[in-house]
Amino acid sequence: MNNEQYLLKLKDAMELKGNTSKSIYIYTLTLKQFFEFSEKVAHEITTQDIKTYLLYQVKIGLEPSTINSKHSMLLIFFKEVMEKPEITLPIPYLKRKKKLPTILTKEEVQRILDMERCLRPDFMFLRK
């Protein structure tokens, strides 16, 4: 079986699960990019091939969430289409960058409170 046949098999599996056409497109595109990167037929791919691909994604600067999405797509393919979940299981997901919450300055809070006077009474802020 060649990679195009595996892509069709993935598409059929996703349609049976009720995935949207957009999801199917993204999954097959990601898998196609992976096949082009690995230069192998799906049944020849190893855990190391997947690690190398994901590491390349890190090196080109993709966000951890994007790389983790690609990882998940590969997991689904190898688990459900290839029936080889062991290929992707030993590969950890990337940690996501933690973002600090946006905190308003005292001046910004005061401006919001000052705007309260301009609003109609039924839209006023509740104050204790």
DSSP letters for 1-13: --HHHHHHHHHHH
Q: What is the pLDDT of residues 24-47, one digit of tens each?
A: 999 999 999 999 999 999 999 999
Mean pLDDT of 46-69: 95
What pLDDT was estimated at residue 126?
A: 55
- Whether 16 has a pLDDT exceeding 80, the answer reads yes
Give the pLDDT band (50/70/90) at residue 102.
confident
What pLDDT was estimated at residue 62?
A: 94
What pLDDT was estimated at residue 19?
A: 94
Domains in the chain, ordered, with CATH? 3-87 (1.10.150.130)
What pLDDT was estimated at residue 6?
A: 94
CA distance 48 to 125: 57
Half-sphere exposure of 78 (CA within 13 A, CB side): 25
What pLDDT was estimated at residue 48?
A: 95
What pLDDT was estimated at residue 105?
A: 84
Give the pLDDT band (50/70/90) at residue 124.
low
